[in-house]
Amino acid sequence: MISQNMHSAIDNLFDTISSEPPHGRCFKCGSKMMHLDATFFSPGPSGKIWTVPLPVCPKCDLKNDTAKFVLPVAR
């Protein structure tokens, strides 16, 4: 059984997350981040719903297979 305090903590957590501005750039490569909206539902009696923009780097997180096409060092 989850206590009422736990529900309040979760509510506060998502209130904080959803109110923070999205990150602008990838900390690994500096690319401009894309944002995918993720929806969370509160498990508590409040029944709140949050939409949190999750930052996604098009280079680091959406890797494709271009690396395999990099030419080997010329002999």
Binding site residues, Zn ion, CB under 5 A: 26, 28-29, 31, 57, 59-60
Which of 56, 51, 49 has the alpha carbon at shortest distance from 38?
Answer: 51
Least spacing, CB of residue 24 vs Zn ion, in Å: 12
The answer for 47, left when phi > 0, alpha when psi is -120 to 50, beta otherwise, is left
For Zn ion, which is the closer residue by CB, 4 or 64? 64
Least spacing, CB of residue 65 vs Zn ion, in Å: 17
Least spacing, CB of residue 73 vs Zn ion, in Å: 25
Backbone angles phi, psi at 9, to 5 degrees: -65, -40
